[in-house]
Structure formats: C-alpha cells, structure tokens
A and B are shown apart, each in its own frame.
Chain A
Amino acid sequence: MTDVPTDENDPFAPLLRRCATGDEAALRALYDHQAPRLKGLALRITASHTLAEDVLHDVFLHVWQQAAQFDPNRGAARAWLTTLVRFRALEVLRRHARERTVEELPDLPDDQPDAYAQMLASAEGQALHACLAALDVSPRRAVTLAFVEGCTHGEVAAMLGMPLGTVKSMIRRGLLALKRCLDQ
C-alpha cells in the first residue's frame, strides 16, 4: 500500500495531480483507498459484482487518462469519483436494460440504522443527515433511493406506492428544501 496524502481538506486531490503526471503509484494508492467504497456504491446500483467491477475498471482508466481534468475549485476529489462511478453504473444499468422489480431492490437505508454510522463520521455527512431528517419520510426516502440505489422515478414510485407524478413533484420540492437547509 502506498503513502496517503494528508491534505485535510481533500486528501485525494494530490493523488489525482500525480496521476495527471503519469504516476502509476498514485493511481494504485487511490485505488487502495477508494476502490472498496466505490465498488460498494457500484454494487448497490448494478446489483452485480461483475458489472460493478466493470464500472470500476472503466472509471479508474478514465481517472488515469483524465486526471488533469479534475478541478479542485469545483468540488472534492471524493465527490468527483462518486459522480464518475454513479453515472457509469447508471449507464451500465440502462445498457443492460435492467428493469428492477420491487423485490430485487435492496432494503431502504432507513431500515438499516447502522448504515448511517459512516455517513455521520464527517461534518458534511452530519449536516446532510440533519437536513434529510427534517424532510418528510417519503421525500427523504425518494432522494436516498435515487442517489444510493440508482432508482428511476418509476422505481421510487413503486417502492413508495405513490403515483409517478406525485413522486416527481415531491422530489423537486425535497431538493429545494434540502438546498435551503444545507445552505443556511
């Protein structure tokens, strides 16, 4: 395992800068520290170990080729990696035309209180958790299902037993309420 940078604000940004210079050890260090987290995320969306590893393969190659494109002014390296993995996993899911049934979808995070322990370990996670808790239970679950499980509007509607149009407007209102709360 390679050295880990200690930049308090964004510990993985220095690794991306090194990747941009062709430093393979930096990519390996990034992989060692982020691959388990990112595979867990890809697995929640694709529900397949094979597809989840395909996602990570493509994303780490993309990072290697395009690390110079990472802009620290736009956000943290961790969030950049999260976005790459989520969008790639969603694309893979759609390419395989996986229309998931309610039975196939994982348990709601709200049903697994222990799952919040890691999220609550950061100040940003605590703030988001508090603002999510201020929402009604349905919009909170809808936002969580979309982000963590990659659910479509239709899948969220099926999970919550609500009409599609209601779910769409509920998510929009929920997003605005979250933004107001987090920006305070």
Chain B
Amino acid sequence: MSGAEGSGWDVLAGEYVLGLLDDSGAASVQLRARTEPALAAAIAAWESRLDPLADLAAPVAPSDMLWRRIQGDLRPAQAPASPKTTPWRNLALASMALAAGLVAFVLWSAANRSAVVPWPRAVALLAAPGSASATLRAQVTSAGTITVVPLRHLEVTAGHQLGFWAWPASEKAPVLLGMISPDGGQLHFPFPPREGTPVMVTLEPQGATGHAAPGPTLYLGLLVAGSS
C-alpha cells in the first residue's frame, strides 16, 4: 500500500472524484478511505478543487412537480434519529450506495431506516456492484455461524481467494470473518445479526495476512430478517 501514498493517492482520488473508476474500483476506494485518512483527505481536496467546474453546466429550472414529489417522500421523524450513534456507518452505506449499481438501492434504503432490531435468523443476498441478480446467499443462525452458499458458479482469479467481511454498527471498519471457497463455506459470526448490516465478498491475495482493509469488492449485500 505504501506505493499508493503521496501523489499516488492524489491520482487515485482525482480519478475517483472525476467518476472515472468502475463500480468495483469506486467501491474499493470508498471502503479504503474509511481506514486511510490521507485518501479521504485527498478525495475531499479534489471535490473542492474541481467543484467550480460544475458551473459550466447551465442552470435548468426543475419542474413544478419535483418539490411536491420530494416533500411527499419526507419522513420528518427520521432526520435526528440514528446518526448520533452510527454517523460513520450511515455515511459509508450512503457512499457505497452511490457507486454500487442496483445493489445500491437496497443499501440506500437500508441507510435510511432507523430501526436496528435483532432477530434469530438473518439472510443476505449478495450481488455484484451494478448487477440486479444475486450471486450468493448468506444466512446467520442463532448459534453464531454464517453459512455462505453460491447461487451460481464463482470464478476466482488465479493467485487470489475470496474474503468474507461484515460491517456491524459496532465496528469502525469492515471485519474479516474468514475466507470462503468458490463452493461457499461456514464461518463464525461473532456479532448479533442486525438489520442493515453490510456483508461483502472481496478478492484477496492468496496467502496474504493481516487484511487491514478489504480488497476489491466483488459482491455486496445487507442482512435482512429471514422467514424461518
């Protein structure tokens, strides 16, 4: 990672702010920025530097319907609710949502929920950023395990393995639960299963240790209440 410091962050952050990274690359930058203050600062600096360029787009009056549509969808009780306890997490969910394709709509909706309630069983359908169809199913049992089952054939790049991460509200960064094979796996889930907890499968170098931050995100999902 040291090679990406200094001007390397500036280029990566600049390409990210310009919107030139693909979904996976953008999601990876967003996650990494959570644990790399220098990257987060480089992103913020580019947002400020380039903001005047937005003035090259001539203003266009919105239709009369737009404000009524927005107003009709406001939920007044929501605004001051959960951010006091989990501000970083809601921000992360929202920023992930901005780059993660159709999966983003699930994340976006979940980020706007206030209730976080435990229940005995939780499931998540994980999909690739930008994809509408699930690739894996993960289920948490009351016994504290999570079972990951692929719904279609998984390809793993040579020299890499699949990491399975969870990002519970109690943690400031994603937590690596372990590695899964292309056939899935069963891992210890040391947290209460809570609605809206992001889970993700990432591409990790074979034999790597440490895993301070997730590799490129392959599949994303959120825990929701299971039916049984």
Contacts and interface: CB of A to CB of B under 8 A. Distances in A.
Contact of A148 (B11, B44, B57): B57
A49 B15 CA distance: 27
Contact of B19 (A49, A52, A84, A86): A86
A69 B52 contact: no
Contacts of A146: 18-20
B61 interface: yes
B177 to A, nearest CB: 27
Contacts of B67: 28, 31, 35
Contact of B11 (A56, A64, A172): A172
A61 B105 CA distance: 13
Interface residues of A, number: 73
A2 interface: no
A115 B46 CA distance: 21
Contacts of B44: 74-75
A13 interface: no
B99 A171 contact: no
Given A91-B99, A172-B15, A67 B66 contact: no
Contacts of A69: 83, 87, 90-91, 94
Most buried by A among B15, B48, B111: B48
Nearest to A41: B57
Interface string B89-111: 01100100011111010001001
Interface in B65-89: 65-67, 69-71, 73-80, 83, 87
Given A22-B79, A143-B53, A175-B11, 13 more contacts: A20-B79, A35-B67, A37-B55, A39-B60, A39-B61, A65-B112, A69-B91, A82-B54, A119-B53, A147-B53, A147-B54, A175-B14, A179-B14
Interface of A: 19-22, 24, 27-28, 31, 35-37, 39-41, 43-44, 49, 52-53, 56-58, 60-62, 64-69, 74-76, 78-80, 82-84, 86-88, 90-91, 94-95, 109, 115-116, 118-119, 121-122, 124-125, 128-129, 143-144, 146-148, 150, 152-153, 171-172, 175-176, 178-179, 182
Q: Top 9 closest A-B pairs, CB basis?
A: A125-B52, A36-B59, A175-B14, A87-B98, A79-B51, A118-B55, A146-B18, A119-B55, A22-B79
